Amino acid sequence: MKKMMSAALLLVLVLAGCSSAPKVYNNGTYEGTGEGKKGPVVVAVTFENDKITTVEVTAQEETPDIATVVFENLPAQIVELQGAEGVDTFAGATYTRDAIVTAVEQAIEQAKIK
């Protein structure tokens, strides 16, 4: 019985060691810039344990009435989706949305382990 328990424990440990995927991103905060309708849009993307944990718009000159909905919703979508692929479009704010997507993609490239 002891030998069987030991063998089972050893098998679990071996399988657990084999299942860990290689790390893709460095931890830290990376910045990217995209061109909005009124000028550059700068974002800071934070990575922890191979996941995007926050996306923050740190600088922008977009029209508040039009772009606010994008700034309030898109960063959370990017965190939820773990990237910019497949995020929503926003009527009337295409340039702003595209600027954030471009900026996030730049930050993701910077964070990748080379």
Q: Check pLDDT > 60 for residue 7.
A: no
Determine what percent of the chain is predicted with pLDDT higher than 70.
83
Tell me, what's the pLDDT at 38? 97
CATH assignment of 24-111? 3.90.1010.20
**Each residue's pLDDT tens digit, 65-94:** 999 999 999 999 999 999 999 999 999 999
Global confidence as pTM: 0.81
For the CA atoms of 57, 58, 62, 67, the dihedral, rounded to the nearest 10 degrees, stands at 20
Domain boundaries, the chain: 24-111
Which has the closest alpha carbon to 42: 66, 61, 58, 63? 58
Give the chain's count of helices (H) and strands (E). Answer: 3, 3
